[in-house]
Amino acid sequence: MKSSAILSEDTLFADLHIHSCFSIATSRDMLPRNILEGCRRKGIRVVGSGDAFSSRWREMWEAEDGQDALVVPTAEVEDRDRVHHLILLESFDAFRDLSGLLSPSAGNLEETGRPHLRLGGEEIARAVHACDGLIGPAHAFTPWTSLYASFDSPQECYGDEPIDFLELGLSADSSYGAGIPELAGIPFLSCSDAHSPDPVRLGREFTGIRSVRLTAEGVIDAVRRGKIALNAGFFPEEGKYNRTACCRCFRQFSWEEAEGLGWRCPDDMGRIKKGVADRAARLSSGPPGERPPYLHLIPLGEIIRTARGASSPGTKGCRLLYDRFIDLFGNEIRVLIDVPVDELAELDPAVAAGVSCFRSARVRLIPGGGGKYGSFSFQGPEKQP
């Protein structure tokens, strides 16, 4: 896919699923100003607010001005079946209205980042649609707290209420859902589910939305009409749950081996979790339908870490080099997909070589599973005959 198509002026990059400092296991730095600055540096023009049921979080966003990105009010909720749902509404006032509908089923709706509701998916979706919002399963294929962890089809979860989109999650790309017949015509979203504004988290996955009016209403209308230009994010193998594996020792198994073992690891009796790749393959029963292109990306911070042989992209040296790339070239997405490699090499030849490898798919992947992220390494130049 040519960079001119990716960076088309009528396409906006959106990360519609993040969390606030009020969610469990999130960074205290997950604050509106930091999120907006992170979006600017990443190249994200549209960001979900996250956690919009929280009254304190809504107030923090409403006090923010001089925004570097358009903010769309969003939230994630867990239902009585432990399925997580992503909700998009046009305004924070609409979330106040939705809170009134759902509050009898959640004791802490206004106080927590990701509330638990004593309702099923159909009841939640009905309330969201009554507020003119959109709803879809969050990280739909992961083996925990997801649609396909608990059900075999959207209808089993949502009943007569339609879903408006499906979020793929870090362990899947659009090819994983392309052969599932009941998902035909349903837009796929790629989102970071970020718990930190760190550039290796925020915007690590995003969706290109075309023909968008730069308002929350415009973004929601574009998603509703399926105006998805592309999905972008991890190679699926990098995700924590891509392969079927033990949750304790992370030993990987084939589906048939796991079934034969009763889903218990023979080494430590840990629970074996179904891998996204295996689960999606068993749900697919038809030829893959056409989907917008999926752009596999590796965060610039991870490329820098690998090029420098560092232990983490958060080391001082890695962060300083990351800042130099952003200061010189504008934002991370431009560095990853658009800036010529020879220009990158003037700043750092090793990082430029890493970018060249991933652009030309010369990446060796070690799949993750059982809760352990996968890893990657770069392959050398192809040998000439």
Instruction: Tell me the two tokens of residue 321.
Output: 């080099």
Tell me, what's the pLDDT at 379?
A: 83
Per-residue pLDDT tens digits for 330-383: 999 999 999 999 999 999 999 999 999 989 989 999 999 999 999 999 986 544
pLDDT at 9 over 80: no
Look at phi and psi of residue 15 and say left if phi exceeds 0, alpha if psi is from -120 to 50, else beta: beta
Cα 174 from Cα 129, distance rounded (Å): 25
Residue 192 has pLDDT above 60, yes or no: yes
What is the number of alpha carbons within 13 Å of residue 174 lying toward its C-beta?
A: 27
Structurally, the chain folds into a number of domains equal to 1
- Tell me the backbone φ, ψ of residue 210, rounded to 5 degrees: -105, 160
Q: Which residue's entry shows tokens 């962890």? A: 149
Residue position matching structure tokens 């430029």:
352
12/111: higher pLDDT: 12
Q: Is residue 121 situated within a structural domain?
A: yes
Higher pLDDT, 63 or 112: 63
**Measured distance CA(354)–CA(5) in Å, rounded:** 22
Q: What angle do CA 169, 61, 76 make, to 5 degrees?
A: 30
Mean pLDDT over residues 257-285, rounded? Answer: 96
Which CATH number is 157's domain given? 3.20.20.140
pLDDT above 70 covers what percent of the chain?
Answer: 96
In a domain, 350, yes or no: no
So what's the pLDDT on residue 384?
37
Task: Convert the pLDDT of each residue in 285-333 to its tens digit.
Answer: 978 899 999 999 999 999 999 999 999 999 999 999 999 999 999 999 9
Residue 302 is assigned to a structural domain of this protein: no
Q: Is residue 137 helix, strand or coil?
A: strand
Residue 178 in any domain: the answer is yes
DSSP state at residue 366 = E
Give the pLDDT of residue 111: 80
Q: Report if residue 324 sits inside a domain.
A: no
Residue 128 has pLDDT above 60, yes or no: yes
SS3 174: helix
Residues 254, 84, 187: CA angle, nearest 5 degrees: 85
What is the pLDDT, as a whole number, of residue 7?
58
Cα–Cα distance measured from residue 138 to residue 165, given in angstroms and rounded to the nearest whole number: 9
Q: Domain range for residue 131?
A: 3-236
Can you tell me the distance from the alpha carbon of 30 to that of 197, in angstroms, rounded to the nearest whole number? 6
- pLDDT in the model for residue 309: 94
Task: Output the DSSP codes for 189-230.
Answer: E----BSS-STTTTTSSEEEEES--SSHHHHHHHHHTT-EEE
Phi, psi of 116 (to 5 degrees): -100, 130
Q: What is the residue whose two structure tokens read 């509404």?
A: 89
> 110: pLDDT confidence band, cut at 50, 70 and 90?
confident
Determine, yes or no, domain membership for 204.
Answer: yes
Work out the average pLDDT over 21-25. 92
What contacts 176, CB < 8 A, 6 or more positions away? 141, 168, 236, 276, 277, 280
pLDDT, averaged across the chain? 93
pLDDT digit string (tens) for 43-77? 999 999 999 999 999 999 999 875 779 999 999 99
One DSSP character per residue, 94-130 reads HHHHHHHHHGGG-TTTTT-SS-B-SS-HHHHHHHHHH
Whether 33 is covered by a domain: the verdict is yes
**Residues above pLDDT 90, as percent of the chain:** 88
- Token pair, residue 235, equals 């190679």
Give pLDDT tens digits for 92-106.
Answer: 999 999 999 999 998
Q: What is the per-residue pLDDT for 381? A: 57
Q: What is the reported pLDDT for 301?
A: 97
Q: What is the model's pLDDT at position 66? A: 59
Contact indicator for 202, 15 with CB cutoff of 8 Å: yes
Measure CA of the first residue to CA of the last residue in the chain; give whole Å.
26
Looking at residue 2, what is its pLDDT? Answer: 47
| Strand pairing class (84-88; 134-137) | antiparallel
